[in-house]
Amino acid sequence: MNIAVVGAGLTGCLAALHAARRGAQVTVFESETRLGGIVRDVEVQGQRYYNGCQYFRPGALDALGLSQGLKVFPHEYGSLTLLGNQQARLLDDCAQPALDGQAELSPHAVLDGTALQRLSAYGPHADRLIAWASGFGKLDELDQRCVLHMQLSRIFYPEDAELQAKKVADAEADALIALPRRIRQPGSQAEPAMLPPDGFDPFLSQLEETLKENGVRLQMNSPVKLMDDSPGLRLYSRGQEQVFEQVVWASNPTALLQRVCDIRLKTPPIAMTLWVGQFNNIGEAPCPVPLPYYWQVFDDSSPVIRVYVYRLQGHLRFSVEAFERPGVDSQQTLAQVFQRLGLPSEFDLAASIPQLRHVNFSTTELTAMQASTPALLARGIIPGGWCHYGREEKVASMKRCLDQVLP
């Protein structure tokens, strides 16, 4: 079978490799000059930095033979919360906010509506959560599942001694209240995760060679247009018609859904900034946390939302994600958050990179995307798992569809 994969991000590459190993003839089309998409390292003057908090779950690459050489580490994380607290709460083992006082949930909680309705379930604590989360977009339009990438799906109340009982007694409370693993399961170990120890770029080079060894053709710098004016599939790239029996659309679905299904995705992306750099004059001094490690930051006085600290190329480095806010003093902002986290005070900021995150969707858009799957499959188009949150879930969705059409 002749298959095209549109998009050479990591999910598209893994889907292409799976199809090739099932015996298909696969061609990957990518508009950029390199594969990897958002997992590619940020390179500044020959130095590499992770493009945010990226990692693999164990087993995710085993079936494709790509796990060899990856570093396995305990997946540890924490959070820093202000949001009206009397003092900053620095928490280990929980990536959600930690708020003062007791968990007082609304008796009229709505868990399956908008993000605004979901956050309104936190009663007297709701206003501070809503005000902070508004940086992600219009909460009254976003589907409640968008709270996942905001890290607001659950909230922890360290002073509430009845949290476990509340979670056991009520299903809604269980869905809204966070409980760190060390409290929930005393003595349990952190889940393992995997990272390329020298950065993602060397891993992506290995992946590119593996794709070629399995017969996958890579068409870089080749944006694709899909024409739907005939019963068959007609792709155009570089002005040439490309004919395939199946197309895996592992790229942004906006244009595809509009042309084929008349679905218009209107939710705007989130304007973010990625700050990368390294800490100085510390040699091999221990970090206050096991590495790699990330903190979610919930602070209405700061644009920072996540701090990722790791060792790469022999240096202690950071990748910090923040809302894009004009006029922000990046050095001062980073110094303040690093001080609160107990990180070294001396650091070099290597680059400030504007980014657009296409992660939000409304309830209407999510429903439409889910309903579009049969129509797309009938046209020989395999969706890129757009309705799923995690990378592994997206790849698994594409692999299931491929397995249904491959002999």
Q: Cα 202–16–11 angle (5° rounding)?
A: 65
- Rounded Cα distance between 218 and 151, Å, is 36
Which structural domain range is residue 180 located in?
86-184
Give me the residues of the chain with pLDDT under 50, please: none
In tens, the pLDDT along 80-128 reads 999 989 999 999 999 999 999 999 999 888 899 999 999 999 999 999 9
In tens, the pLDDT along 132-164 reads 999 999 999 999 999 999 999 999 999 999 999
For the chain, give the mean pLDDT: 93
Q: Cα 367–371–375 angle (5° rounding)?
A: 155
Residue 331 pLDDT = 96
Token output for 352:
């400030």
Please indicate, yes or no, if residue 80 is contained in any of the structural domains: no
In tens, the pLDDT along 7-39 reads 999 999 999 999 999 999 999 999 999 999 999
Residues 317 and 344 in one domain: yes
Centre a 10 Å sphere on the Cβ of residue 383 and count the other Cβ atoms it contains: 23
Total count of domains within the chain:
3
Residues 227 and 311 in one domain: no
Residues 215 and 165 in one domain: no
Token output for 163:
């949290």
Residues 244 and 306 in one domain: no
The pTM for the full model equals: 0.94
DSSP, residue by residue, 67-120: -TTPEEEE-EEEEEE-TT-SS-EEEES--S-B-SS-----TT--SSSBHHHHHG
Q: What is the CATH number of the domain that holds 334?
A: 3.90.660.20
336 three-state secondary structure: helix
Please indicate, yes or no, if residue 366 is contained in any of the structural domains: yes
Q: What is the CATH number of the domain that holds 226?
A: 3.50.50.60
Q: Is the peptide bond preceding residue 124 cis, with omega within 30 degrees of 0?
A: no
Residue 103 pLDDT = 95
